[in-house]
């Protein structure tokens, strides 16, 4: 297989993971797509090392997180104050949510609907709450690491994550408790 073909396969295998990571952090399809593209352009330059490396997924995820956070810091900081005022503009867009692995026929459709609702609720959180929440729950980072990454105090990270959880529960309350221990 040629390098081009190998990279195409590599891109196909990881595109959903990279896009998801960026999308859940920036909550904007076009921006997440730009970030994901940049991730793969960087991966291409190091494809010699990454191509057959089982840790490539981890590398891609780390770069996607870093680029998303850089994007949020550099390009949005100037707008953040007024964007918080025009809250709707800052919170995520409302587009159709499409998952990489379609539900199988046996899966409970109510569960898949709830997943969509969770993703929508996540996008609607203010950036200051969404980003630490995603880093903690989806990316498995520790509070201390999130604080260091975002350049804020540990207390702020904990408060923002707590508020984000409370906001999610408020939006999803009944659905969160519907099936108790079952996965959404």
Chain residues binding other proteins by CB under 8 A are 7-8, 11-12, 15-20, 23-24, 28-31, 33, 36-37, 40-41, 44, 79, 82-83, 85-86, 89, 93, 95-101, 114-115, 118-119, 122, 133-134, 137-138, 162, 165-166, 168-169, 172, 176-177, 181, 183-184
Torsion sign (Cα): 77, 82, 85, 88? negative
**Least distance from other proteins to the Cβ atom of residue 14, Å:** 9
Q: How far, in Å, are 26, 121, 129, 137, 138 from residue 166 at the CA level?
A: 20, 12, 10, 14, 17
Tokens of residue 104, six digits: 């199988």
**Least distance from other proteins to the Cβ atom of residue 121, Å:** 9
**Least distance from other proteins to the Cβ atom of residue 151, Å:** 23
The answer to whether the CB of 147 falls within 8 A of the CB of 154 is yes
In the complex with other proteins, the residue whose CB is nearer, 53 or 94, is 94
Within 13 A of 49's CA, how many CA atoms are on the CB side? Answer: 7
**Least distance from other proteins to the Cβ atom of residue 34, Å:** 9
Torsion sign (Cα): 145, 148, 154, 156? negative
In the complex with other proteins, the residue whose CB is nearer, 140 or 151, is 140
In the complex with other proteins, the residue whose CB is nearer, 117 or 152, is 117
The DSSP call for residue 108 is -
């Amino acid at each position: 297989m040629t390098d081009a073909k190998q990279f195409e396969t590599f891109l196909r295998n990881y595109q959903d993971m990279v896009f998801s990571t960026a999308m859940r952090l920036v909550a904007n399809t076009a921006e997440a797509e730009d970030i994901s593209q940049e991730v793969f352009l960087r991966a291409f330059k190091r494809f010699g090392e990454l191509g057959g490396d089982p840790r490539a997924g981890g590398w891609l995820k780390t770069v996607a997180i870093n680029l998303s956070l850089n994007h949020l810091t550099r390009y949005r900081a100037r707008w953040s104050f007024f964007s918080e005022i025009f809250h709707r503009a800052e919170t995520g867009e409302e587009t159709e949510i499409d998952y990489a692995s379609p539900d199988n026929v046996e899966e409970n459709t109510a569960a898949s609907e709830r997943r969509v609702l969770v993703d929508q609720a996540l996008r609607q959180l203010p950036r200051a709450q969404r980003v630490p929440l995603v880093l903690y729950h989806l990316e498995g980072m520790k509070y201390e690491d999130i604080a260091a990454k975002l350049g804020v105090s540990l207390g702020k990270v904990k408060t923002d994550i707590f508020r984000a959880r409370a906001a999610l529960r408020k939006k999803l309350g009944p659905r969160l408790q519907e099936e108790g221990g079952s996965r959404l």
